[in-house]
Structure 1
Amino acid sequence: MVTSPVTIRPNVLLIVADDHRADCIAGNRESGPATPVLDALANRGTLINGARIGGGHNPAVCVPSRAAIMTGRAPDRALKHPRSQCNSENQEIREDLTTIGKTFRENGYITHVVGKWHNDTKSLNRSFVGGTNIFLDGMSEHENPLLHDYSPKGNYGVETAHVVPGFSSQIFADGAVDFLQKREQGESPFFLYLAFTSPHDPRTPPEEYRQRYDAKRIELPQNFLPEHPFDNGELLIRDEQLASFPRTEDEVQRQTADYYALIEHHDNELGRVISALKESGEYENTLIIYTSDHGLAMGSHGLLGKQNLYEHSIKVPMILAGPGVDQQDPIKNDIPSYSIFPTLCDMLDIPIPATVEAESFVDLLTKPREHRVTEPTPYFSHYRDIQRAVNWKHWKLIRYEVGGEVRLQLFNLSEDEGEMQNLANDHTHQAILHELLEALETWWSHTARIGMVERDESTVSSFQAEKAE
């Protein structure tokens, strides 16, 4: 909750990781990665336990997810060509949409980008007036990546790229620190977008961090399986071929150890950025937001990648700390990660652009607990045309259609967080199954008709009214 009105407009530091599972923080190096910097941010502010992505048609889920964060719209509605697959065209953010960077720039902020930008360069230059160590591709080796300098004229061709020696997380942190150290006292507030490529594969952490994790002591996820029980439509995509079939416990432990080490390393590098904020005198007046573009399976349900709709892949970590955000218990509401945009606008008294469709969750941060609106609404997500899901209260339904065959999974998340007990064929749960399926199909018929995803308000409101207690 806000403890006092903001009298000096705060800076904003928005950090987006790549492939960071929501449950991979605050670990002990066996049950999860050690993340002391993120833990301190969460203790200082608010952790959003129900933050989720909306999915998209692109197997590179980070493309629609990052476009959504930038525009405050559902992933496919943020992209110019939402159904294009894995090419430069599919990265384009719609030109008629106002990005978060452009909004802050037009409201007196110096906007600066560091790290991964997996969308088009025109939207990058609409959003930012400067940048350092910019990565324009989807993935690469972490060592000595090929990066770009910010170009005011938008020149980001092959000829302008250059290799930067070092490790990706350290290089991106260097860019953020350099920006903070070169700022002059009394300069306009800044909006700094810092995007890591960690912990995305290749899972090659610096050796110092790799040695902190004993693969044999890594705890397997409770929903570990050697293989997925049925064809979900993407069992052979690149991400799933990073380990042998069937999955072995030893291999999943080894890859998870390296995954945790990557997270601990970028957590440490984030600590250097926060130290630079403190040294500059800007720390107390900077809103810090941490999230990820999506989660990752890492052995859960026999999967490795993010091309699925289980909680481990659609939930993301989200932490807010800084002026206006008081310490409080984690917020459990289902919140789209792309709601960050309108929420920041509300917190900083910046008009929300008309093209933003996500709703601000500022009330959850600012209102006393007894006055918060906590009644859940259906939360829809999809992956391509083959998987779609709805979360409502503690229930979750996933529908698959692969090769003309339809499968349903119904989970009671309050009793089955790992989504291992499929209740779809249990006669005692047929009423909620059909209710959720009807809502999902109504939403999807609208989605499929226009080729994009948008929230069908009539579906949500009617379903909510019928099920209100």
Structure 2
Amino acid sequence: MNLNKRFFLILLSSILFLSWGCSKATKTVKTKPNIVFIFADDMTYSAINALGNSEIETPNLDKLVERGTTFTHAYNMGSWSGAICAASRAMLISGRSVWDVNDFRLNWKKNKEIDKTWGKLMESGGYDTYMTGKWHVDAQPNKVFQNVVHVRGGMPKDSWDFAAMTKKFKEIEGTDIDPATIMPVGYNRPLNENDTIWTSSDTKYGGYWKGGKHWSEVLKDDAIGFIDKAEKSDNPFFMYLAFNAPHDPRQAPQEFLDKYPVSKISLPKSWMPEYTYKDDMGCGQNLRDEALAPFPRTPFATKTHIREYYALITHLDVQIGKIIERLKATGKMDNTYIIFTADHGIAAGRHGLIGKQSQFDHSIRAPFMIVGPNIKKGAKIDKDIYLQDAMATSLDLAGVKKPNYIFYNSVMDIVDGTRKESHYDGIYNGYRDLQRMIRKDDFKLIIYPKIDKVLLFDLKNDPEEITNLADNSAYKSKVNTLFTDLIQLQKEMKDPLDISSIQTKFNADN
């Protein structure tokens, strides 16, 4: 073989080899996954049929449970105000812990450090970002996300004027006037079975129907509109879909209310007419959430609020199902992760409470499901997480390096089994200067600082948190251990409240 022919064959072989290698590489390159974050408002962990609530219809959320992995113990970290959702969302968007996030909030108002928000971090990873629905965060949404439509406030506007009501409450303070008598329409109801002044399906009250279409349906339409555009793009997308439901005013179409006759609703195991420490923990008649139902609670009033709660969740479930169906139709579901959670839970009658400003699991614990490629189907994990771990998880899935300032952690190492324990040495919660909590090793310690009250619950044997063990001498050591752990967590969280004197008093009294 002459030299020229040999050179030609070598050159040809090299070209074929390189061509084959490039072709093979092209076939194995995997595009970044799409991530859809679906966020409910005021939805407790037990409000899904597939997770044990046989009274509620949630077929589409049930499918997420069946087709993905559920974290059964996902918690919010607390709040500096009665608007728990505002704190929860600020932590979610920033990745900061509850007391640490305030610096971010101040900077957001000055349009600073926006680049450190969730949406911007995903955008830096090459994602088209989209947001619709409830915001309630100090940063401007259109600076956090590239595509923004129908931004909603903290709650649908109704007849509750915060400034006016605060003024009225102060005016009657110290008098014999019952606060219930000055409540606007939609509150302190129903007084009895004949109380029909406010009906949750009546569109004349505005709320979720302001604009002519139920807000959950508007969000569904918004999401599908973006999916239609994303179908034609090769870019990965990140969707932040924040429903207002099932926050009050709990309005749903009549057909959904008809699914839940009051006679078919059962009272929670922890139901009581009035919680002993409601005023000392900041959950009295002056708290908007608690003013929704009459004091003391009645079985009928409680069941009515639960009925409306269930109806709004079932209506929400239908909208989620339609969004997922449209995602499937694009053919992109094989490379899409869906994360579903809520900003916190809600009492809905348990412990004599209606709102979410307590340390009981019904108020601080939310559902958390993740579905997508290589996610184990039907799995349930009981490791403690924070619901704000959703942010770090999405960064992990997107291949975006988690910045050092983010407190929360991806759950993917727990999902895939490489990590066997929680990332957290105890779950912390703080509400204003009125409540503190630690959950650890199947026990929960709750402190009401204003009255030096200490509560201890054995969560394994008493999941409804009914029996207080703190005054039982057999549990004194457990109380002290958890006190020490809680004080350590306070330091890590930059918690400004000193509770050490309460521990000293507890030991002196016990």
Pick closer, same or farther for the CA change 1:92–1:146 going to 2, 3 Å. farther
1:31 to partner: Cα distance: 4.4
On the 8 A contact 2:444/2:459 being kept in 1, the answer is yes
Q: Which amino acid aligns with 2:266?
A: E
Who is 2:181 aligned against? none
- 1:328 & 1:28 partners in 2: Cα distance? 11
On the 8 A contact 2:118/2:144 being kept in 1, the answer is yes
- 1:25 & 1:92 partners in 2: Cα distance? 37
* CA offset digits 1:409-448 (Å, max 9, x no partner): 1000000000000000001111111111122234336756
Runs of 4+ in 1 over 6 A off after TM superposition: 27-30, 144-147
Pick closer, same or farther for the CA change 1:146–1:190 going to 2, 3 Å. farther
Pick closer, same or farther for the CA change 1:136–1:440 going to 2, 3 Å. same
- 2:496 & 2:430 partners in 1: Cα distance? 15
Note if 1:337 corresponds to 2:387: yes
1:358 to partner: Cα distance: 1.2
1:254 to partner: Cα distance: 1.0
Residue from 205, 220, 223 that aligns with 1:176: 223
On the 8 A contact 1:79/1:93 being kept in 2, the answer is no
Who is 2:412 aligned against? 362
On the 8 A contact 1:67/1:93 being kept in 2, the answer is no
Note if 1:379 corresponds to 2:427: yes
The TM-score, its normalising length taken from structure 1, stands at: 0.84
Who is 2:361 aligned against? 311
Q: Counterpart of 1:294 in 2: which secondary structure?
A: coil
The TM-score, its normalising length taken from structure 2, stands at: 0.77
On the 8 A contact 2:156/2:207 being kept in 1, the answer is no
Who is 2:476 aligned against? 430
Q: Counterpart of 1:409 in 2: which secondary structure?
A: strand
Q: Counterpart of 1:350 in 2: which secondary structure?
A: coil
On the 8 A contact 1:400/1:408 being kept in 2, the answer is yes
5+ long unaligned stretches in structure 2: 1-27, 159-199, 499-510
Q: Which amino acid aligns with 1:7?
A: K
Residue from 375, 388, 392 that aligns with 2:440: 392
Pick closer, same or farther for the CA change 1:451–1:72 going to 2, 3 Å. farther
Who is 1:135 aligned against? 152
On the 8 A contact 2:94/2:104 being kept in 1, the answer is no
Note if 1:104 corresponds to 2:122: yes
1:103 to partner: Cα distance: 0.7
Note if 1:440 corresponds to 2:486: yes
- 2:55 & 2:386 partners in 1: Cα distance? 24
On the 8 A contact 1:376/1:392 being kept in 2, the answer is no
- 2:136 & 2:305 partners in 1: Cα distance? 25
The 10-residue stretch of structure 1 (345-354 or 106-115) with the greater mean CA deviation from structure 2: 345-354
Note if 1:352 corresponds to 2:402: yes
Residue from 111, 132, 135 that aligns with 1:117: 135
Pick closer, same or farther for the CA change 1:388–1:28 going to 2, 3 Å. closer
1:48 to partner: Cα distance: 0.6
1:138 to partner: Cα distance: 3.4
Q: Which amino acid aligns with 1:195?
A: A
Pick closer, same or farther for the CA change 1:375–1:7 going to 2, 3 Å. closer
- 2:471 & 2:433 partners in 1: Cα distance? 23
Pick closer, same or farther for the CA change 1:118–1:179 going to 2, 3 Å. same
Q: Counterpart of 2:413 in 1: which secondary structure?
A: helix
On the 8 A contact 1:111/1:191 being kept in 2, the answer is yes
- Structure showing greater Rg: 2
The 10-residue stretch of structure 1 (434-443 or 24-33) with the greater mean CA deviation from structure 2: 24-33
- 2:64 & 2:495 partners in 1: Cα distance? 43
Note if 1:270 corresponds to 2:317: no
On the 8 A contact 1:30/1:219 being kept in 2, the answer is no
Q: Which amino acid aligns with 2:63?
A: A
Q: How many residues align?
A: 423
1:121 to partner: Cα distance: 4.3
Q: Counterpart of 2:449 in 1: which secondary structure?
A: strand
Who is 1:208 aligned against? 255
Note if 1:35 corresponds to 2:35: no
5+ long unaligned stretches in structure 1: 83-88, 148-161, 453-469
Who is 2:97 aligned against? 74
CA RMSD in angstroms, aligned pairs only: 2.7
- 1:401 & 1:435 partners in 2: Cα distance? 18
1:224 to partner: Cα distance: 0.6
* CA offset digits 1:233-258 (Å, max 9, x no partner): 22220111111111011111111011
Who is 1:455 aligned against? none
- 1:31 & 1:145 partners in 2: Cα distance? 31
On the 8 A contact 1:28/1:34 being kept in 2, the answer is no
Pick closer, same or farther for the CA change 1:338–1:279 going to 2, 3 Å. same
